[in-house]
């Protein structure tokens, strides 16, 4: 089984990792963690020409380094499971589009994502990644909900 795990470093995605580790899976199953660095609005104007400079390059490099460190930490948790092979990938861009592209590129059988549980008004402004995955992914999607903090 090919399981794509959407990971953003939040307690919600950590709950999705915990749920994935808790379950039995067929021997040889693969877990592919995907984290997306979303470009700040100031860096990508509407005409699509990227605006960069030394400061933004440093910020992005720092964000990439932190993201790789987080992903490696999570992949290390999967080493205790001989039945699971874990890999990771860092993408950049729109979270929804990048995850949907990763699902198709990797040919996932199942997607697991943690829900932030935003209220309807917040979803209106921020949008829901889980909603986009459930409605547009070409495979099954499981949304892991966490209890309120």
Global pTM reads: 0.83
pLDDT in tens, 12-30: 999 999 999 999 999 999 9
Instruction: Parse the chain into domains and list their residue ranges.
Output: 2-145
Query: Which 3 state secondary structure label does DSSP give 1?
Result: coil
* Rounded-to-integer distance, Cα 77 and Cα 24, Å: 15
C-alpha separations of 105 from 25, 56, 58, 62, 100 in Å: 22, 29, 29, 27, 9
Domain 2-145 in CATH 3.40.50.720? The answer is: no
Backbone angles phi and psi of 103, in degrees to 5? -60, -45
Per residue in 72-84, pLDDT (tens digit) is 999 999 999 999 9
């Amino acid at each position: 089984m090919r399981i794509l795990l959407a990971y953003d470093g939040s307690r919600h995605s950590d709950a999705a990792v915990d749920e994935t580790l808790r379950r039995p899976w067929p021997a040889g199953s693969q877990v592919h963690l995907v984290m997306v660095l979303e470009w700040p609005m100031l860096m990508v104007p509407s005409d699509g020409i990227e605006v960069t400079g030394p400061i933004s390059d440093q910020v992005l490099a720092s964000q990439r380094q932190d993201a790789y460190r987080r992903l490696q930490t999570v992949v290390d948790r999967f080493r205790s499971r001989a039945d699971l092979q874990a890999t990771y990938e860092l993408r950049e861009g729109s979270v929804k589009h990048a995850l949907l592209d990763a699902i198709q590129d990797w040919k996932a059988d199942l997607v697991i994502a943690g829900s932030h549980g935003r209220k309807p008004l917040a979803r209106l402004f921020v949008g829901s990644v889980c909603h986009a995955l459930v409605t547009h992914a070409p495979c099954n999607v499981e949304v892991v909900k966490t209890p309120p903090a």
